[in-house]
Amino acid sequence: MSVIDQDSPRVADRQSMPASGPSAAGDAQPAVTGVTATRDEVLESARRAKVAAAAVALLPRSVKDAALIAMADALLDRRVEILAANAIDVRAAQAAGTPDSLVDRLRLNDSRVEAMAQGLRDLAGLPDPVGTVVRGSVLPNGLQLTQIRVPMGVVAIIYEARPNVTVDAAGIALKAGNAALLRGSASAHESNLALVDILAEAGVGAGLPVDAVQLVPGTDRESVKHLMTARGLVDVIIPRGGAGLIQAVVNGSTVPVIETGVGNCHVYVDASADQAMALAILINSKARRPSVCNAAETLLVHEAIAADFVPAAVAALRQAGVTVHADPAVAGLVGGTEGTDGVDGVVPATAEDFDTEYLSLDIAAAVVPDVDAAIAHINEHGTGHTEAIVTSSIEAARDFVARVDAAAVMVNASTAFTDGGEFGFGAEIGISTQKLHARGPMGLAELTSTKYVVTGTGQVRASS
């Protein structure tokens, strides 16, 4: 998943970023001694990627798919090497006092390596987007107009923590005919070095050009700044991480950026909801994997069923280890007074809680008078990622879908389904919450641009 990952458990902690530039490791992580790379070194890497991109763009699907399969095989064959490198990163993170939830995002094991390899195999099985006809027509003057998908060129991905993103990003960029420039966090540097070495070697052996997959030199912030200003060499940058990282890249880059976003996702339980279904969706949305961007961060409950549903929901959340940040109405329904006195696992909600992407076993909870209030709350506090309604009312569902401003809206389903793999796109590069070019899980099609091909029989345009 990606999705929009960040290393910090709270968005509020990520908003102030030093003027020196974005940190791929995230401000909430302990300081890591950076490996400095000069601007010339970063630009030279981008130049090599540009040469490679021109060659990758011309490769047939058979070569790209063979390379993805070779990469998957190499990951499995060299898993001992991968896990040894990852163990260095994990030990360093633990020694620095990194929270367990963040260490877990960093850690690789046999099953996670196997999942990365399977993701590459799944990509190989997907149709090649390059050359796909988006639309076509014959103009009145006889010209044949065709819009086709073409690679973007050099795609740079700046991301945090998870080493699996290295494999996902490389695979999806290559399948879409691009060269990949990867800039992971300093906390995962040893893991990423091993992974990129293995992917690049396997790719070249299967017919990819040298430098089709590269790790950007350096682990300090300066190397990211050099990458962000490599306009003309890098065609697009995709930041994947916390709010601070994303905004720093968006605001500081001269290279075009596809903006991904954080996930302050909501589950709204309507008056007509099947309460057993709602409980299952809530727990899955929040507790299945709380550190990912599609995890629910706020529960909203219609006041008509609050007396029955809220105590059951709080009990189920507490059993799952989730701390509920309750508004006065929720607190009152579970025995709290002036907040939550004496109720384990429940604390009073602050105004900040409803704007927080926890990425932890925490959730904000509030009672709302109706679906209109739920929609207004979501549009005020949400981040445009994923919002869910649980309801038996077709009218309420339609209203919610039409009026909620989000990249994905779930009706009677968990927010956890906002994922490129779950949508059938294969590995995703991230989840975009912007409204230009790409929105939602970004799969292969979103890693392409388009080109118009106009074919004539000698037509010339009349003088004006």
The answer to whether 139 and 461 have CB atoms below 8 angstroms apart is no
The answer to whether 126 and 426 have CB atoms below 8 angstroms apart is yes
Pairing of strands 440-441, 431-432: antiparallel
Give the pLDDT confidence score for residue 8 in this predicted structure: 33
Give the pLDDT confidence score for residue 102 in this predicted structure: 82
The answer to whether 203 and 213 have CB atoms below 8 angstroms apart is yes
**What single DSSP character describes residue 422?**
T
Give the pLDDT confidence score for residue 205 in this predicted structure: 98
In the chain, what are the domains? 11-252 (3.40.605.10), 265-417 (3.40.309.10)
The helix, strand and coil proportions of the chain, stated in percent and rounded to the nearest 5, come to: 40, 20, 40
pTM: 0.78
Residue 220: which residues within 8 A CB-CB, separation 6 or more? 34, 35, 36, 37, 186
For residue 113, give the nearest of 238, 199, 182 by alpha carbon.
Answer: 199
Mean pLDDT by 10 residues, the chain (464 residues): 33 32 37 72 97 97 98 98 97 93 90 95 94 96 95 95 91 97 95 98 98 95 93 94 84 90 92 97 96 93 98 96 96 69 79 94 97 97 95 96 94 93 77 80 90 91 87
Give the pLDDT confidence score for residue 108 in this predicted structure: 97
Give the pLDDT confidence score for residue 34 in this predicted structure: 64
Give the pLDDT confidence score for residue 361 in this predicted structure: 94
